[in-house]
């Protein structure tokens, strides 16, 4: 009995140490995000990100969204491979893209490129509903299962070509695209609400990609602004 109790205490203590370790790593990640914000302040026109966004980044367990063998690197401020030729984005870019959407608690957001599910999980802490589309079937199934297991019940996923958006749930308060494309897809512009925002990396492997903010005013007019150069995996599918 004493041996069993000792073993349970060791396991419990190890779990607490691991949890505390991840918490410390998240704090370091947030510090590095803040450093990057200051370094790019001239490009992004701000010296700090919304505190609600920072809190969401501090709450979502990024280590749950990377392959097991990558967990020791989960909170490094860098992209990581997740298989299927895809990556989980750099934490700073996730935070910046989320911040640029200006998320509100009553909003509905469309994400193109579910990937690991990390970006959707961050958004789910800030908005009412996230709709996320992944074109790679195997990745989409694995990520949907992960999000369900982690309790993200306000994320709905779909396996499809994200270029066409998700008409059944349109219009959306905001749209986030996590793969680079040479142009802004017209169906996504159409499915964006008046007064809405879209953040999308525009460019190809052979030309500079720019994180681009698309805004639709209350009359339906569109304006775009390049934020800063980025490097995303390319859009796939028929476009």
Q: Where are the beta strands (DSSP E) in the chain?
A: 80-83, 86-88, 108-112, 129-134, 155-159, 172-177, 192-202, 209-216, 222-230
- Taking the C-alpha atoms of residue 115 and residue 89, their distance in angstroms, rounded to an integer, is 9
Contacts of 38 (CB under 8 A, 6+ apart): 47
Strands across the sheet containing 222-230? 155-159, 129-134, 108-112, 172-177, 192-202, 209-216, 222-230
Q: Is 231 designated active site?
A: no
40 within 8 A of 95, measured Cβ to Cβ: no
Catalytically annotated residue among 14, 48, 89, 132: 89
CA 213 distance to own-chain centroid: 15
Active site residues: 89
């Amino acid at each position: 009995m004493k041996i069993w109790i000792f073993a349970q205490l060791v396991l419990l203590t190890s779990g607490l140490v691991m949890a505390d370790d991840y918490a410390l790593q998240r704090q370091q990640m947030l510090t590095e995000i803040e450093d990057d914000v200051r370094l790019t302040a001239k490009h992004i026109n701000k010296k700090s990100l919304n505190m609600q966004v920072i809190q969401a980044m501090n709450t979502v367990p990024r280590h749950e969204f990377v392959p097991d063998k990558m967990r020791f690197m989960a909170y490094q401020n860098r992209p990581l491979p997740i298989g299927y030729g895809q990556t989980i984005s750099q934490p700073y870019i996730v935070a910046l893209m989320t911040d640029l959407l200006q998320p509100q608690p009553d909003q509905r957001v469309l994400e193109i490129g579910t990937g690991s599910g990390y970006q959707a999980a961050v958004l789910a802490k800030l908005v009412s509903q996230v709709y996320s589309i992944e074109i790679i079937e195997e990745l989409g199934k694995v990520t949907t299962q992960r999000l369900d297991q982690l309790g993200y019940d306000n994320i709905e996923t779909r396996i499809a070509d994200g270029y066409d958006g998700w008409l059944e749930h349109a219009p959306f308060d905001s749209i986030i695209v996590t793969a680079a494309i040479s142009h802004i897809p017209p169906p996504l512009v159409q499915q964006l609400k008046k007064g809405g925002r879209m953040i999308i990396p525009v460019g190809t492997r052979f030309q500079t990609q720019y994180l681009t903010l698309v805004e639709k005013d209350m009359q339906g007019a569109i304006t775009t602004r390049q934020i800063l150069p980025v490097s995303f995996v390319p859009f796939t599918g028929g476009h």
